[in-house]
Structure 1
Amino acid sequence: MPTPQYILDLREKIGTAPLLLPGVQSVVFDDRQDPTSVLLGRRADNGRWHLPAGIMEPDEQPAQALVREVLEETGVEIAIDRLVSLVTQPATAYANGDQVQFLNCTFRGHYLSGQAHVADDESIDVGWYPLDHLPDDLAEGGREMITRALPLEGVPYFVA
């Protein structure tokens, strides 16, 4: 999915200045498989594996945004189990000069239906990976969130 229109409208007013954005990220497990697998996508922009994620739209609740994003990116319908973490990511700048920082809500979810496939232009591959065979180029932050999400119940991580 392309950049949401409300962000493009903001960029017309503020240019490339820093923008704090609400982000959502998923750790989706498929317990029907043995061993348990996690849903990952390979990004089109950098070729690296990542947890499905996206930006909330105005008037959207975080869990609802994540269910939408996962379906849009992977073709998989999920249910949310719990909040895993709420953290502000380090600031970053894109090649066009836009500066962003994400307030990231990571949720644990589980598979409901659908066949995992590339469903938009943000990914070049999508698939389920056993926890003991994660892709080598999955970022350390993704691995950390998978570990934090493993318990079905738990207290969300945040920086105090």
Structure 2
Amino acid sequence: MATPDFIRELRVTAGRQLLFLPGVSAVVLDDEDRVLLARRADTGGWSIIGGIAEPGEQPAATAVREVYEETAVRCVPERVILVQGMEPVEYPNGDRCQFMDIAFRCRAVGGEAQVNDDESLEVGWFERDALPPLEEFALMRIKQAAGDGPAWFEHPAPPAA
């Protein structure tokens, strides 16, 4: 994921300290219920599409923007499927971030899937029973997108009496 300008500006004064950031991911489905995936340039692995919300940007708009920027596919968000705080991550340059991910199920409405920026090596549509190797992050969201149940979130322990 390319580092947005606003984070580069924050890093000038914040240094390498932990930043809590709004992340958005999208499980994009086509009319055949195939899943849109991208093979990431940074890891070489396949994943769903995602990115960081810009200041003032609504999460659903982030999903639409990221999908188009990375794959040239136009989509519309259908529903929130998951909200999850992620574990902190440290990048090779020493920057530390922790993301709060809001995941959407989206429907493709136009465009042709193709590499549309420098964040992906390949993009493509995959049948759910023929997915390439994926991390649990993507698998959990694809599974959650399959149903019409409520959004997944980790249930907190009840407050102490």
TM-score (normalizing by structure 2): 0.93
1:63–1:135 distance in 2 versus 1, CA, 3 Å? same
How much does 1:159 deviate? 1.3
Within a 5 Å distance, the mapping from 1:67-146 to structure 2 comes to 67-136=64-133, 138-146=134-142
Partner of 2:18: 18
Partner of 1:158: 153
Task: Give the unaligned 5+ runs of structure 2.
Answer: 156-161
The CA deviation string for residues 71-97 of structure 1, in whole angstroms up to 9 with x for no partner, is: 000000001110001111111100000
Q: State percent identity of aligned pairs.
A: 45
2-structure distance, mates of 1:61, 1:54? 13
Task: Decide which of 42, 55, 65 is 2:52's aligned counterpart.
Answer: 55
How much does 1:2 deviate? 3.4
Moved segments of 4+, more than 3 Å: none
How much does 1:123 deviate? 0.5
- Classify the secondary structure of the residue corresponding to 1:23: strand
Q: Report the RMSD for the aligned CA atoms in angstroms.
A: 1.0
Matched positions, count: 155
TM-score (normalizing by structure 1): 0.94
2-structure distance, mates of 1:84, 1:77? 19
Task: Decide which of 134, 149, 158 is 2:145's aligned counterpart.
Answer: 149
Structure 1 residue 44 corresponds to structure 2 residue 41: yes
Letter in 1 for 2:90: A
How much does 1:4 deviate? 1.2
Partner of 2:158: none
